[in-house]
Amino acid sequence: MRATIQRVSQASVEVDNHIAGVIQEGLLILLGVCDDDTQDDIAWLSKKIAQLRIFRDEHKPMNRSLIDIDGDALVVSQFTLYANTKKGNRPSFVDAASPELAKTRYEEFVKALEKQLDKRVATGIFGADMQVSLVNDGPVTLNIDTKNR
């Protein structure tokens, strides 16, 4: 699994002119799934994201986690995180999971993150054409790949 995580002061995702998910302070998580992602990848990534110390406190700009601040999370499926651009000018997505498997793993990840945070996690709509809006706080943007632990 690959995730691009952005620390936000607010974020939302819109589908067909309707808000599908909206959060205030927290993390926007763009999530990509590949064929060999496992339950172990889901557990590791959800815990890593929940405990990642990238929020401010009175001492340091990155000292508190999403759990510590009781922050929100918005998870949006993003198969393009598995784009391969080595050949030609058109990205290849052969490394991304099939839509059926990706949807299952995406939903499992959302549930695992909800368990880590002990709260509901906002989402987009899997496979939909989505418009994502955010105010990146910092800016802070990180990439995590479960294959590079």
Is the separation of the CB atoms in 6 and 139 below 8 Å? yes
Verify whether residue 141 is a known catalytic residue: no
Is the separation of the CB atoms in 132 and 13 below 8 Å? yes
Long-range contacts of 114-119 (CB under 8 A, 24+ apart): 115/46, 116/46, 116/47, 116/49, 116/50, 116/51, 116/67, 117/50, 117/66, 117/67, 117/73, 119/70, 119/72
Count CA atoms within 13 Å of residue 92 on its CB side. Answer: 7
The token pair at 139 is: 């800016």
Q: Name the active-site residue from 4, 80, 104, 146.
A: 80
List the catalytic residues. Answer: 80
